[in-house]
Amino acid sequence: MGLKRFLINFFLEGREINLKEYIKSIYQELLSSPSMKIDFASILFFLGRWLPFSIAIGITTGVIASVMDLFVVNINKFLSQEVVYFFVYPLLVAFIVGKVIQKYPEVEGPGIGFAVLHLKTKKYIPFKVIFYKLVVSVLTLSGGFIAGREGPSFFLGVAIGEWTGKIYGFGKKYKNLLGLIGGGAFTGALLKAPLGSSIFAMELENMYDFDYRPFIPMIIAAIVSYLTFSFFRGNHHFIELHSKPIWNLDTIPYIVIMGLVISAVIYVYTLIFHFFQKFSKIFPPAKRPIAGTLAAIPILLFLYLYIHSTEILSAPANMKILSDLANNSFPIDFDVLIILGTIFVTSLTLAFGISGGLILPVLIIGSAVGNIFGHFFPKELITFTLAGMASALAAAAKTPLAAIVMITEMSHDDVVIPMTAAVITSYLTSFGYSTYLGQKNIFRGNLRTFSVNYKKSDVSN
């Protein structure tokens, strides 16, 4: 009894407490707390509405992405039979794109900027626009252009997500989330990076204010889409590495310097791209793609003759140029030419209305800068090129987390710490601008900036 009294006085300061009743009161308080109640209604709502929708959108986008990739790869195989096809084919595509955007201006350009702005409206993208965006994107990605898959895939995914959500009975208040889920799922399939693409979609829509609400249904949809795509098109990754990346702590300061260089290069690229995008408005919509492509073909021809490789001309179809830059030390003049060529070819084609994304051009630029740094650190060449890709994507799209995850998924190798160093550097030194006009940036775009023919009434309400 003496010991018990001593312990009570010492620990409880003489207070008499009924321990059994005290524990019971704590338990009852926790059970009655709103933060500790299991929300069965929300669980059932997710399992009954969001889960079936996520699976449905995943299967739908995965199948469409598979068909899209099938056409792209086979058309590219045909073009590869004769090099001259790569310089004639773009003119045919430009003519078709010009005719399409004359009637459907929403189809022109990369697509992500328009899609991000569209998500803020209450309208649904018309089925004809979806169809024509799919057709011209397949034609563009098949060869002769330097264009990414993510622009068309995000645009198409947003449209499919919104319409599928409407079919499933979701109201317009969910339209934004439904579109994002579709965009992330479609992009996850075509880039074979479901987690990175899901994060990419969320970071795109809210550049500096991350919104986690759509993440769970989006990642489910993206994984289902990726598995569906892999079932039909195979499970190979886009960036093939011949050896494991090597790095050490002494490398990090130089990777930070590379991040600064890439931030500056991407800023120049963004400025040039948007300048040509605005300059292209002097041409009638039907003539823009042809005018820009005619100006870009001599640059493509010079690139081919200088580098002696068609990989840059087939980049959207197989992305082998990224593997080449990651595994092989190119002469510095080659790297510089690839950077300048990519900047001006995309500024004369995608900025003039050709349908294609900006991720691939940005990754090529980042990997070429990394390849230059790899000359000074030959053992760490792969590390510098992978970190360069992630750094360029973070600076261009303001998606730092997605950049790290996406490159890891696309290469199936882990250089997270070096990539993080490069990404943070380029991201923090690139506030205020973005390659996508749909995000808040110094260019302050709106839907009407994408075409002089896009009517104000189309974006009201």
What pLDDT score does 190 carry?
Answer: 92
Closest by Cα among 291, 344, 441, 425 to 146: 344
Angle at 423 between CA 419 and CA 427, to 5 degrees: 180
DSSP secondary-structure letter at 286?
A: T
What pLDDT score does 22 carry?
Answer: 79
- CA–CA separation, 258 and 387 (whole Å): 9
Give the CATH number of domain 50-233; options: 1.10.3080.10, 1.10.540.10, 1.20.1630.10, 3.90.950.10. 1.10.3080.10
299-352 per-position pLDDT tens digit: 999 999 998 888 999 999 989 999 999 999 999 999 999 999 999 999 999 999
Domain ranges in the chain? Answer: 50-233, 249-450
Same CATH topology for 50-233 and 249-450?
Answer: yes
Q: Which two tokens stand for residue 186?
A: 């479609």
- CA–CA separation, 382 and 374 (whole Å): 8
Q: Which two tokens stand for residue 77?
A: 């195989």
CATH topology of domain 249-450: Clc chloride channel (1.10.3080)
What pLDDT score does 344 carry?
Answer: 97
What pLDDT score does 242 carry?
Answer: 85
- CA–CA separation, 439 and 421 (whole Å): 24
116-159 per-position pLDDT tens digit: 889 888 899 999 999 999 999 999 999 999 999 999 999 999 99
Closest by Cα among 313, 305, 354 to 334: 305
**Is residue 63 classed as helix, strand or coil in its secondary structure?**
helix
- CA–CA separation, 30 and 28 (whole Å): 5
What pLDDT score does 454 carry?
Answer: 40
- Within 10 A of 216 (CB to CB), how many other CB atoms are there? 15
What pLDDT score does 66 carry?
Answer: 97
The continuous run of DSSP H or E covering 314 comes out as none
Q: How far is CA 342 from CA 72, 73, 77, 94, 389, in A?
A: 20, 21, 22, 18, 14
pTM for the structure as a whole:
0.85
What pLDDT score does 42 carry?
Answer: 73
What pLDDT score does 24 carry?
Answer: 82
Q: How far is CA 63 from CA 142, 342, 351, in A?
A: 18, 31, 29
Q: Which two tokens stand for residue 322?
A: 């990224």
DSSP secondary-structure letter at 49?
A: I
Residue 148 β-bridge partners: 357
| Residue type at position 302 | F
Closest by Cα among 361, 362, 370, 405 to 388: 370
Query: Digits of tens for pLDDT over the chain (461 positions)?
Result: 577 677 667 676 667 777 778 788 887 777 777 766 767 777 777 778 888 999 999 999 999 999 999 999 999 999 999 999 999 999 999 999 999 999 999 999 888 888 988 988 889 999 999 999 999 999 999 999 999 999 999 999 999 999 999 999 888 888 988 999 999 999 999 998 888 898 888 887 665 555 667 788 898 999 999 999 999 998 888 888 888 888 788 889 999 999 999 999 999 999 999 999 999 999 999 999 999 999 999 999 999 999 888 899 999 998 999 999 999 999 999 999 999 999 999 999 999 999 999 999 999 999 999 999 999 999 999 999 999 999 999 999 888 888 988 998 888 776 666 777 787 777 777 666 566 555 554 334 444 444 444 444 443 33
